[in-house]
Every structure is written in structure tokens, then in C-alpha cells.
């Protein structure tokens, strides 16, 4: 049963992504409101994939991905960034920090599900 960590400060987006993740077979969605909350959840549960926003209060998505990818325990967890930034530069920035993939808002639910399934199968 894959555990999906959704890191997003907007409750609307969190609910939307969680709703979409119901279509990933047997998936359990764990929600976090920011990077710090996400690190807390990572220490409590075995996470299989992280879907994170970039712009968040307390700790943003780029800092979170950098901490995750530099931690030997978590570095193999795929991280998909979801953000309003659509420019290629921002995409490169997220990938350079260690993100495995990137999706721009407004998100296409089918595209997100496909991407999550792809990374869960690769694991």
C-alpha cells in the first residue's frame, strides 16, 4: 500500500490532490501544510512518494526537497513539485535541488495520477 505525502499550504489544493490520489490503487494520502510539517510526517510514516508545492510558509518546497534528497534515509523517495511557476527556469531550479519531476498549476489530474503511478512502479 503506497503512502503518498501531499505537501501544500492551500487546503483547497490539498483536498484536490488527495481526491485525485484516491484513484491510485490502495494509496494512503498523508497531508502536510508546509515543509516542516512534511519532515515531521516523514519521520512518523513510511512515505513512498512526495507531492510538494514550492511556495509555502515556514519552509518552502525547494528547501524541503533539498533536505529530503540530502538525507540518506529519504533520498530515494521520489519528489514531484507542483507549483504555479511555469517557466523553464523554475523547473530547472526544482530539478537542480533534487526534485524528480515537476507539474505546473492548474494541475491536470490525469497527468498527475499518471506521473505518480510511474514513480510508484519505478520504486
Partner 1 sequence: MVDDPKKESRLLKSAEEFLQIFRKGEEFTKSILKENERLRFRIAELEEALKQNSNSQRIKNYEERIAVLEKELDSLKKRFQEVEKENRDFAVRFVEIEEENNNLANLYVASYQLHSTLEYDEVLKILIEIIINLIGAEKFSILLVDEKTGDLVPVATNGISIDEIPRIEVGKGIIGRVAKEGESHFPETISHTDEPDPTSPLVCIPLKIKDCTIGVIAIYSFLLQKRAFSSIDYELFNLLAGHAATAIFSSKLYTQSERKLSTIKGFIELLTEKHN
Q: In this chain, which of 3, 69, 104, 120 binds partner 1, going by CB under 8 A?
A: 104
Helix (H), strand (E) at residue 22: none
Helices (H) and strands (E) in the chain, counts: 5, 5
**Closest CB to partner 1 among residues 14, 41:** 14
DSSP state of 81: E
Least Å distance, CB 85 to partner 1, is 9
Burial class (CB in 10 A: 0-12, 13-18, 19+), 113: middle
- In whole angstroms, give the CA distance from residue 17 to residue 52: 10
Among 58, 84, 96, 118, binds partner 1 (CB under 8 A): 84
Which among 27-35, 38-46, 58-66, 100-108 is the span making contact with partner 1, rule CB under 8 A?
100-108
Separation between Cα atoms, residue 123 and residue 105, nearest integer Å = 26
Using the minimum distance from each CB to partner 1, give the nearer residue, 70 or 108. Answer: 108
Q: Which of residues 5, 7, 20, 68 is near partner 1 by CB under 8 A? A: 20
Residues interacting with partner 1, by CB under 8 A? 10-13, 15-16, 19-20, 84, 86-87, 104-110
Amino acid at each position: 500500500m503506497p503512502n503518498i505525502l501531499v505537501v501544500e499550504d492551500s487546503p483547497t489544493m490539498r483536498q484536490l490532490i488527495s481526491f485525485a490520489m484516491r484513484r491510485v490503487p490502495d494509496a494512503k494520502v498523508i497531508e502536510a501544510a508546509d515543509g516542516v510539517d512534511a519532515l515531521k510526517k516523514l519521520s512518523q510514516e513510511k512515505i513512498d512518494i512526495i507531492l510538494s508545492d514550492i511556495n509555502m510558509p515556514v519552509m518552502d518546497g525547494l528547501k524541503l526537497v533539498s533536505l529530503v534528497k540530502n538525507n540518506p534515509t529519504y533520498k530515494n523517495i521520489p519528489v514531484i513539485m507542483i507549483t504555479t511557476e511555469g517557466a523553464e527556469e523554475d523547473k530547472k531550479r526544482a530539478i537542480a535541488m533534487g526534485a524528480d519531476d515537476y507539474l505546473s498549476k492548474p494541475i491536470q489530474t490525469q497527468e498527475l495520477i499518471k506521473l505518480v503511478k510511474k514513480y510508484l512502479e519505478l520504486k
